[in-house]
Structure 1
Amino acid sequence: MQILKVGNMCAKTGEKVSGYVQVKGTDIELAVTIICGEKEGKTVFISGGVHNAEYVGIETAIEIANEILPSQLTGNLIILHLMNRTGFEHRTMSMVYEDGKNLNREFPGNAQGTTADRICHTVVTEFQKNADYYIDLHCGDGYEELTPYVYCVGVAVPEVVKAAKGMAEVINVPYLVQSPCGSGGSYNYAGSCGIPSILIERGCMGRWSKEEVELGKKDVRNVLRYLKVLQGEVSKRTYHPVDVGNVICKNAEHTGCWYPTKKAGANFRKGEILGYIKDYFGNVLETCTAEMDGILLYQVASLCIIKGDSMVAYGENPNHKEGAKGTDG
């Protein structure tokens, strides 16, 4: 009989167990479901709420945890419903409430660090250590607009990169981005440790809908079926994600008011203006100009924009190859 242990929780073959895992060195308890299949196989780690206002991913994790049964699995699921719980309960958007850090910039964390560092360390040492594969569920934060797309790890050994891309290719979104980062983000770090990992972006602006959650659940089930962990065949989908190649992420050089000129998902040509930052009198402080032909993946959609924070991210247009290197969002 198999026994799968995460923190103080454990599940045996054929069991589903839900409860809380404590973040080491804190009083924070994270909601977790372990589903141990009736047949042995690979273990998939699924997380929601790395960014706590990304509600589509959180609700998708909650519903997937409730709906999948041990009898349907050849293998196991470890589902972390909400990684940044205190941020969620204080509505801090991307940041951990106690220290103002962005979890997806702090992996692998530190057992002796601040709260965010300790959350990351706990995820690595209690969750990722059990995983053969990883699905990280995101969406646009409370101030972000995006078009649905999927990241897969790119900084890892070739077999891990190949396996992650295979997972990403069954997601029902238009675009795929292979990340050039090997640390900072949860899925990035997992990939660098040998775990094929993807990050799904669906939904935005601090909202969620049943329709988006249903699409998110179909994405997760398709990956699990592709991995032969969940019974059934990969279902039909509208999109087969296109690799957008290089990605440019532009951060704001000024604090002020942001006036985008495009919508997420828009195509544009090199040299087109993507938006302006103006001061509180309407004077232009900064103009954001496209450095290549591209697809707008996400952008700030609030009037407020903050120096040093994200402004836009766009990928290379697959139909107009003009090289330009960038970093993961």
Structure 2
Amino acid sequence: MRKKEYLHHYLSWMTFCLVFSMNAQNTISYEISQLPAATISKNNVEFKDSLDNSTNLPIVVIKGKEVGNTLTILAGVHGYEYPPIIAVQEFLKEIEPEKLKGNLIVIPIANKASFYGRSPFKNPQDEVNLNNAFPGKLDGTVTERIAHYITQNIIPISDVFLDIHGGDASEDLIPFVCYYNNEAKSKATANAKLLSESSGFPNVVSYPYNIKDNEPAKYAFKQAVQDGKIGISFEAGALGNVQEEAVRLNKNGIYQVLKQLEMYPSEIDLPKKLVKYNNQAYIKVPVTGILYSELRAGDTVYKGQVVGHITNEYGEVLKKIRTPETGTILYKIGTPPVNQGETLMCIGIPLE
């Protein structure tokens, strides 16, 4: 059986199972069932916590002309990651429901307080990182309640879950698509790999899946993977800026995923060569201080190489940084301030 046929049969089986597992109180599920074919619906889900913080979650539901799979697109988990947000804005202006087979659930900005507050990583209302909050809490802070809502209401009715990120205010990175190698759910993993390699991203990263089913997933698309869904994530854009190339890559990636799922036509050219990374090495910040490094994301580094140093506020060198492995810098801290324990650099080790 060809890869695309395998993916189609697997998703058909997933859709069959979901019909019998939907909760009657699931408002998004109900919304989809009530919408006429080829329709776009815009929704706002309100959240308020015991600290009097309040926010809302914008959700766009697009029902295609024909019955098919359900793809969820999540952007703005980190509100300072602008290229994914702008890419989704453009996509929503372009999508034609009459050409769509199946359903789209689109969350264009998951963390509105972070976005409008220009706050990297955390929601400034409760100081919680949404991408560290899954599966969330029904009675938690507003951020934890958003995570709980997505876990309970969005992921269960999704066949494929696409989580789109970019470089936050301090992050320099190369564009890549990633998936988790969840050996316990081999069918979903195989299809996540197929979608990743067909997404149009030149770099494909496989992360190890090392949590149990009863452990917090923390990350949005890792929660989807834990729940047995096909989950992938895009990373494009750097240092809290809107780069046109990153916007284009994110948007084209959405179209490519839709094409592979046979949900929407696309004629976008794919890269001629894919670089695959199945292992990673991490450098943690050894001491709080000021980072000096001439290296950028995408540079090749070699085991034992000095990749930078950290000084105190007087410019005195506190620590030299050496790399533990040979590989490519997938992402790194790209601004001077660093705090002990943070991930300074992630080195991808190419698959030979």
1:179: Cα distance to partner? 2.0
Letter in 2 for 1:42: N
2:67 is the alignment partner of 1:40 = yes
Which segment drifts farther, 303-312 or 193-202?
303-312
> How far 1:9 moved relative to its partner?
5.2
193, 197, 202: which one aligns with 1:169:
197
Correspondence for 2:55: 28
Rounded Cα–Cα distance in structure 2 between residues aligned with 1:99 and 1:129: 27
Match for residue 266 of structure 1 among 299, 303, 307: 299
In the alignment, is residue 117 of structure 1 matched against residue 106 of structure 2? no
Higher deviation after alignment, 218-227 or 244-253:
244-253
Query: Comparing 82-91 with 206-215, which one deviates more in the overlay?
Result: 206-215
Contact preservation (8 Å) 1:249, 1:310: yes
Q: Give the direction of change, closer, same or farther, for the CA distance of 1:192–1:241 in structure 2 (3 Å limit).
A: farther
Any idea what the Cα deviations from partners look like across 1:203-252, whole Å, max 9, x if unmatched?
1111113333222211110111011111245x322354322121123221
Alignment partner for residue 77 of structure 1, among 101, 104, 108?
104
Contact 2:310/2:320 (8 A) holds in 1: yes
Does 2:341 match 1:308? yes
**Separation (CA, whole Å) in 2 of partners of 1:102 and 1:252:** 20
Deviation at 1:294, TM superposition (A): 0.8
Unaligned stretches of 5+ residues in structure 1: 320-329
Q: Share of identical aligned residues, percent?
A: 27
Q: Report the Cα distance in structure 1 between the residues aligned to 2:145 and 2:109, rounded to whole angstroms.
A: 15
The match for 1:227 is 261
In the alignment, the residues of structure 1 paired with residue 200 and residue 237 of structure 2 have an alpha-carbon distance, to the nearest angstrom, of 13
User: Equivalent residues in 2 for 1:138-153 (5 A)?
Assistant: 138-153=165-180
Structure 1 residues 78 and 255: alpha-carbon distance in aligned structure 2, compared to 1, 3 A threshold: same
Equivalent of residue 207 in structure 2, options 179, 182, 199: 179
Deviation at residue 195 of structure 1 after TM alignment: 0.8
Shift of the alpha carbon at 1:270? 0.9
Q: Which runs of structure 2 are paired with 1:84-95 in the superposition (5 Å)?
A: 84-95=111-122
Contact 2:59 2:107 in 1 (8 A): yes
State how far apart, in whole Å, the 2-side matches of 1:53 and 1:23 are: 21
Native 8 Å contact 2:201 2:249 kept in 1: no
**Alignment length (residue pairs):** 317
Partner secondary structure for residue 12 of structure 1: coil
Say if 2:177 and 2:232, in contact at 8 Å, map to a contact too: yes
Q: Describe the SS at the equivalent of 1:246.
A: strand
Superposed CA offset, 1:44-64 (max 9, x none) = 000101111110011111221
Does the C-alpha gap of structure 1 residues 24 and 167 become closer, same or farther in structure 2, counting only changes over 3 Å? farther
**Conserved 8 A contact 1:153-1:196:** no
- Mapped contact 1:35–1:69 kept (Cα < 8 A): no
Distance 2:273 2:75 in 1: 23
Of Structure 1 and Structure 2, the greater helix share is in 2
Correspondence for 1:12 = 36
From the superposition, tell whether residues 174 and 275 of structure 1 become closer, same or farther in structure 2 (CA, over 3 Å).
Answer: farther
Q: Sort the Cα spacing of 1:139 and 1:291 in 2 relative to 1 into closer, same or farther, 3 A.
A: same
Deviations 1:28-47 (A, max 9, x none): 11122110001000000001
Asked if residue 127 in structure 1 is aligned to residue 127 in structure 2, the reply is no
Corresponding residue for 2:243? Answer: 209
Q: Give the SS at the match of 2:238.
A: coil
Is the contact between residue 73 and residue 164 of structure 2 (CA under 8 Å) also seen in structure 1?
yes
1:248 match: secondary structure: strand
Deviation at 1:283, TM superposition (A): 2.1
1:8–1:21 Cα contact (<8 Å) kept: no
Q: Which of 83, 89, 92 is matched with 1:56 structurally?
A: 83
Amino acid in structure 1 at the alignment position of 2:269 = K
1:286 maps to: 319
RMSD of equivalent CA atoms: 2.1
Instruction: Report Cα offsets for 1:95-124 as digits up to 9, x if no partner.
Output: 111222222122111112222211111111
Distance 1:88 1:112, change over 3 A: same
Q: Secondary structure at the match of 1:215?
A: helix
Conserved 8 A contact 2:181-2:206: yes
Question: Cα distance, 1:263 vs. partner?
Answer: 1.3
Distance in 2 (CA, whole Å) between partners of 1:8 and 1:97 is 32
Q: Which residue of 2 aligns with 1:236?
A: 269
